[in-house]
Structure 1
């Protein structure tokens, strides 16, 4: 198992400096991989090329392939560089972004190598996570084998707690603290109000609890046998940079106000799925574009199914209307 987390790579500097930062990071991770699996790789040492991390990765692939074991690659925060573009949105940042993702930029070269490795050269599976599909849109030509799974209903509860799980944990805490059943029910109602409601697929009715917020509440509930003083964890505050970017878009400010008012859902024909650098700068920023960004950043969510059916004038490509709230 090899893991890369691109949030650990500094996006500052020009294209060459970012390339050096990325290569240094990749070589560190490859070195750590070699050390962790040193017994398995004892007969097949990995050669770390300090000038070219892609060559180091090729050496790792060759070594792992000789062991007969499959290699799984996890890439987290893959869109770290794209987020810098959105939050700053200055020409210098756009040029830097283009330098690493356009043409033969370092990120495109890296993902071409990953794609080739997954084509029978020792890499069994690749799992990529990030905040938005911005960078993936610009990487399409280099990595056009990815399958987006974040809207599939089977994964709806993958990253959240279900109601029954929250109820079971709250009940156990109530027993430990010798609290009356009424207080446990009250705690559940409070958590349902503030933490429940995430629905990642329009094909399911099940809503899940935000795990960071739910655990924040439950830890305080268990520790103090009482509710936390602050109902929201400050670690999960809205990203101001992203909100500022969206607010600067033509439809952004009004759409944010409409969403906060919660009087009517936001209806869009379909969720936009391309947010490349060209799209972010030149594509029409209509309600659908802005609402899709808010949805991907989890500021908006799918509405209920009955609301979807009532929005007759808005339909997705598959024929279903989509309502966000």
Structure 2
């Protein structure tokens, strides 16, 4: 049976039965058994739902007959714990709960989902439900859960393993829609949500519930629910679980090796693909900035599925569903347009963003979420920033840089539309000319920027926005490297012709230099008279030595671009 790259699969059994490529994370199942009531947070589309599905199949007693089929090829299949297939599994997915301006309607949707899952146990576990109390499908979830758990305990039924996926999904919608009063009502007092978690806590105390595993994105709702569910163990920042989701470099290398062999992809292309996936999808440090980074698994599988099917690099390198809605950032800054612009500009311009180490905690409440000191930490949980060191956060990879520039264009009303840049990009494809391309970027893009911005821009801003504009329109033919390492340093930007397109073999190294008005005035020259500096020539030639060693057949060209605030620019090609 031909193997499949499992993009978008959230059901573990489906992945196995369709012979999907699989990175074995099952050793973490044994580790999780040592943790009571774990809560594990990661950004959207980072593999949380597949993990929940895997746990459900592992612990569900009615799936015992499939244990070898589903887990025989895994570490846990060869080293099973005593608890495998020992429980009644009750699995919820709070992302499917519809929210409404009327909390009664939201409560109704919550009850229908949760009570519906409980009622399914009559069909899934009939041997234990012969005299179970009946209730309507829209019975209060807390009431149904309490009656059901009480019945199971009294009749000596197996314990229940509870899984809640995306615990904060529906309540977060009240935050982004500025309905704070509804959020506070749903997470305080004797609300239906707090009462539901109180029943879960009681189930753990009585022993009816063996464990509760919870996933989500943000820590604010779980903090606001603390008094009703103060038994959680937060694993989000636990170094023992940093690599439970996301793929390490060793895991990715083995996976790509296998895909190249199975689909007979030309090994000559491997170096280019390795660079691309590392630039686009790697770089996440959730706990220890000195530990090994992880790849976003969903973005990587999106790419590998297309690579395996077409044996070429796709034009679109990540699914647009990965984009965190800008409403989150606007909500984060209190809807203040000036604060929103400042935060988005910082994401686009700065190599790193300072953060308060004490603010990076496993839980904080909604009011703290909107404090400026927590802005970087909130973006960390949303996946736009990751750990750089003990003092700073950073944008993890090129995919997130592109998203940051999209935000920038949106909040500063910069037109990225095709009609504006069509002639510019078509001209470059007909005859690649970097000087002309950058001149058009300056004329069509930079000219739209508000005057006030230029007192804060730097070379990173010009490099990032130029890269994003090019990637928007030229990604059919090119990929880009940013800060690629060589023995003599790291390049600012590289154009790389895709191996399957007309510019295959082309590699341009571009070094950006920026001068403030004061620096430029001190040089006592003009743009017309200015020439490339010797130290910059030596620097970029040093990078080229490393590149030629790796790709001796490549068509390598070297460029230095000088940007002087908004006064102008100069592009120089360097020989050698």
Are residues 280 and 269 of structure 1, via their aligned partners in 2, closer, same or farther at CA, if it must alter by over 3 Å?
Answer: closer
* Correspondent of 1:98 among 184, 188, 191: 184
Instruction: Give the Å deviation of 1:272.
Output: 4.7
* Correspondent of 2:132 among 45, 53, 56: 45
Are residues 264 and 162 of structure 1, via their aligned partners in 2, closer, same or farther at CA, if it must alter by over 3 Å?
Answer: closer
Give the corresponding residue for 1:143.
229
Is 1:19 matched with 2:107? yes
Are residues 52 and 180 of structure 1, via their aligned partners in 2, closer, same or farther at CA, if it must alter by over 3 Å?
Answer: closer
Q: Which stretch of structure 1 is more off in the superposition, 76-85 or 259-268?
A: 259-268
Give the corresponding residue for 1:294.
379
Distance between the aligned counterparts of 2:163 and 2:318, measured in 1? Answer: 30
The TM-score with structure 1 as length reference comes to 0.85
Give the corresponding residue for 1:187.
273
Instruction: Give the Å deviation of 1:163.
Output: 1.2
Residues 253-301 of structure 1: CA deviation (Å, up to 9, x unaligned): 42332233243342324225454344456xxx22x21111111111110
* Correspondent of 1:76 among 165, 169, 184: 165
Give the corresponding residue for 1:264.
352
Instruction: Give the Å deviation of 1:183.
Output: 0.6
Residues 297-318 of structure 1: CA deviation (Å, up to 9, x unaligned): 1111001xxxx3xxxxxxxxxx
Residues 204-240 of structure 1: CA deviation (Å, up to 9, x unaligned): 5111110111111111111011112211112212222
Give the corresponding residue for 1:323.
392
Give the corresponding residue for 1:311.
none
Give the corresponding residue for 1:315.
none
Give the corresponding residue for 2:556.
none
Is 1:59 matched with 2:147? yes
Are residues 190 and 103 of structure 1, via their aligned partners in 2, closer, same or farther at CA, if it must alter by over 3 Å?
Answer: same
Distance between the aligned counterparts of 2:292 and 2:366, measured in 1? Answer: 34
| Equivalent residues in 2 for 1:118-133, closer than 5 Å | 118-133=204-219
Contact 2:353–2:393 at 8 Å: present in 1 too?
Answer: yes
Unaligned runs of 5+ in 1: 309-320
Contact 2:387–2:393 at 8 Å: present in 1 too?
Answer: yes
Are residues 115 and 221 of structure 1, via their aligned partners in 2, closer, same or farther at CA, if it must alter by over 3 Å?
Answer: same
Unaligned runs of 5+ in 2: 1-88, 395-576
Give the corresponding residue for 2:123.
35
User: What SS does structure 2 have at the residue aligned with 1:207?
Assistant: coil
Are residues 180 and 51 of structure 1, via their aligned partners in 2, closer, same or farther at CA, if it must alter by over 3 Å?
Answer: closer
Distance between the aligned counterparts of 1:18 and 1:144, measured in 2? Answer: 24
Give the corresponding residue for 1:312.
none
How many pairs are equivalent? Answer: 301
Distance between the aligned counterparts of 2:321 and 2:350, measured in 1? Answer: 24
User: What SS does structure 2 have at the residue aligned with 1:99?
Assistant: helix
- RMSD, aligned α-carbons: 2.2
Contact 1:259–1:266 at 8 Å: present in 2 too?
Answer: no
Residues 146-186 of structure 1: CA deviation (Å, up to 9, x unaligned): 11101111111111112122212222222234333231222
Instruction: Give the Å deviation of 1:203.
Output: 6.3
User: What SS does structure 2 have at the residue aligned with 1:241?
Assistant: helix
| Equivalent residues in 2 for 1:176-325, closer than 5 Å | 176-202=262-288, 204-247=290-333, 248=335, 252-273=340-361, 274-280=363-369, 285-286=371-372, 288-303=373-388, 308=389, 321-325=390-394
Give the corresponding residue for 2:193.
107
Contact 2:115–2:141 at 8 Å: present in 1 too?
Answer: yes
Q: Which stretch of structure 1 is more off in the superposition, 267-276 or 123-132?
A: 267-276
